[in-house]
Amino acid sequence: MMNELKNFFSRLGFGMTEVESDKNKKNEAVGQNATSTTDNASAANATEQKAEATDGKAEATGKKAEAAAKARIYNLIIVDESGSMSHLRQATLSGVNETIGTIREAQKEFGDKQQHYLTLVTFDSHSYRDDVRTIIDCKPIDEVGEFTDYSPCGGTPLYDAMGESLTALRKRIENDVDASAVVTVLTDGLENASHQWRTDTLRRLIEQLKEEGWSFSYMGSAHNVKEVTDLLAIDNVVEFNHDRMGTSSTWDRERSSRRAYYQKMNRMYSEERSEMDREAMIRRKKQMASEYYGDRVTPNRIETLQPNEIFVFGSNAAGMHGGGAAAQAMSKFGAVWGQGEGLQGQSYAIPTMEGIDKMREAIQRFIDFADSHPDMRFLVTRVGCGIAGYTDRDVAQMFRPCIKLENVALPESFWRFLGLNMRL
């Protein structure tokens, strides 16, 4: 029967081979479609894997970039060059240049986490030059040389100097999340020559910049420093005696605070930066800015201590802690009967009864100890000014190196004889 059908179709011109061929072609087409579908699925899968790999690479690159992020610290120093600064010229030059040295040292020590820039602005109202002069304009600290161009004369356009320099720096760094500004002002007189900026407009700008994490410090003399800084909303303030010692002391204090700020910034970038968003960074910068000038005055009465605080008192070589601060150290802070010098509990004894030279040597040993223990905070009492019979003026000078130690607090009377008013 099959053969007859084949012959029939053959006579009609249709061989079974063509029908079979069509069927085979149809099967081939289905197979090709299936293969194409498989190929498309494989291609889509490959594209997806490639996209995931790209995303992973981008994420890894982002994390690497965050880990490698540097704090760009813009140091802005604004210095009064008016006529009343004439007899403080050399002390001011020394102070500015030593501060430049401190910034340079920080660049070397923290270079893997910080890049420092310096802008130095001076101001006066003398007729033959601009009232506000930018001596150094946002240079990398490694490119900054010695500051020598300083010739005080004229009036005090303080507000114009601050307003112009703050505005210029803000435009430069406002979109940089890793930028931080450290602003320091030195002046010995009231504003009396500005033309562009007023108290209210300058205060508004400073308040805005503080909200962005900027740090402000103000070193003032020969005017009502507290009144001016209250008007300008500046919290980190020190008043210095209008003499060489006061000027030198205020720059020493400034450098101590500046270095502590850099250390905190280094810890933040070493330990926390990769986990912080912009808001978290601003909060931390605001905290560091508010603490820029830490509390360096020993309270008149000390009843309790924080775990890291040390009560520093005057004693005698035999360690007979029988009265005054020594008795308090023994009863409350762990001083040991019979130990005349050094750390004992939460106290540190300085022998004061064996002559002034011996006392000076003991004070220097204390200073070395405090310098090598930055994790401790030392509250120095009026050492040597009780039974030993020395004056605050005499003893204060022996503690002068402590100005540079941010972890040492001194009595208010000592600070005054070092040329600084720290209680504003």
- Which CATH number belongs to the domain containing residue 410 in this structure? 3.40.220.10
Same domain, 254 and 153: yes
pLDDT digits (tens, 9 = 90+) for 324-340: 999 999 999 999 999 99
Q: Both 284 and 316 in a single domain? A: no
Whether residues 134 and 263 share a domain: the answer is yes
pLDDT at 252 > cutoff 60: yes
State whether 99 and 243 are in the same domain: yes
Mention every residue, 6+ apart, whose C-beta is less than 8 A from residue 91: 244, 247, 248, 251
Q: Which of 55-59, 140-144, 246-250, 315-319 has the lowest mean pLDDT?
A: 55-59
Q: Which of 231, 255, 290 is the last residue of a domain?
A: 290
CA distances from 158 to 39, 95, 190, 202 (A): 75, 19, 8, 10
**Nearest CA among 304, 325, 294 for reference residue 387:** 325
**pLDDT tens sequence across 179-203:** 999 999 999 989 999 999 999 999 9
pLDDT interval class at 14 (50, 70, 90): very low
What CA–CA distance (Å, rounded) separates 415 from 298? 10
User: pLDDT tens digits for 106-140?
Assistant: 999 999 999 999 999 999 997 688 999 999 999 99
What pLDDT is recorded for position 48? 53
Task: Give domain status of residue 104, yes or no.
Answer: yes
Residue 379, classed as helix, strand or coil, is strand
pLDDT confidence tier of residue 146, bands split at 50, 70 and 90: very high
Same domain, 212 and 345: no
Sheet holding 420-421, edge to edge: 132-140, 114-123, 71-80, 179-187, 215-220, 236-240, 420-421
> What percentage of the chain reaches a pLDDT higher than 70?
84
pLDDT of residue 69: 86
Residue 98: CATH number of its domain = 3.40.50.410
Q: Identify whether the C-beta of residue 232 lies closer than 8 Å to the C-beta of residue 191.
A: no
Whether 195 is in a domain gets the answer yes
- Tell me: do 98 and 246 sit in the same domain: yes
Q: Are residues 235 and 318 in the same domain?
A: no
| 49/254 Cα distance (integer angstroms) | 56
Tokens 């601050």 correspond to 162
Which structural domain range is residue 373 located in?
309-421
> Which token pair is 409?
């607090």
| pLDDT (tens digit per residue) in 202-245 | 999 999 999 999 999 999 999 999 999 999 999 999 999 999 99
According to the model, what pLDDT value does residue 129 have? 86
- In a shared domain, residues 248 and 314: no
Q: Total domain count for the chain? A: 2
Q: Is 149 left (phi over 0), alpha (psi -120 to 50) or beta?
A: beta
At 213, is the secondary structure helix, strand, or coil?
Answer: coil
Q: Give pLDDT, residue 26.
A: 44
176 assigned to some structural domain: yes
Q: Check whether 249 has a pLDDT greater than 70.
A: yes
Q: How is 82-151 classified by DSSP, letter by letter? A: SGGGGGGHHHHHHHHHHHHHHHHHHHHHSTTTEEEEEEEEEE---TTS-SEEEEEEEEEGGG--------
pLDDT, mean over the chain: 88
CA distance 350 to 343: 9
78-108 pLDDT, tens per residue?
Answer: 999 999 999 999 999 999 999 999 999 999 9
Whether residue 226 is contained in a domain is answered as yes
Assess if residue 79 is contained within a domain.
yes
- Among 290, 317, 341, the domain-final residue is 290
For residues 159 and 265, membership in a common domain is answered with yes
Within a domain: residue 296? no
Whether residue 198 is found in the same domain as residue 317:
no
Task: Give the end of a domain, one of 224, 258, 290.
Answer: 290
Smallest CA-to-CA distance from 222 within 247, 253, 204 is with: 247
What pLDDT, on a 0 to 100 scale, did the predictor assign at position 128?
81
Burial environment of residue 385 by CB neighbours within 10 A (0 to 12, 13 to 18, 19 or more): buried
- Same domain, residue pair 271 and 315: no
Is the pLDDT at 33 greater than 70? The verdict is: no
Q: Are residues 265 and 315 in the same domain?
A: no
| Residue 34 pLDDT | 44
pLDDT at residue number 45: 55
pTM for this structure?
0.83
Nearest partner of 154 among 133, 128, 136, 178, judged by Cα: 128
Q: With respect to residue 62, please indicate whether it lies within any of the assigned structural domains.
A: no
For residue 57, being part of any structural domain is answered with: no
Please give the pLDDT value at position 363: 98
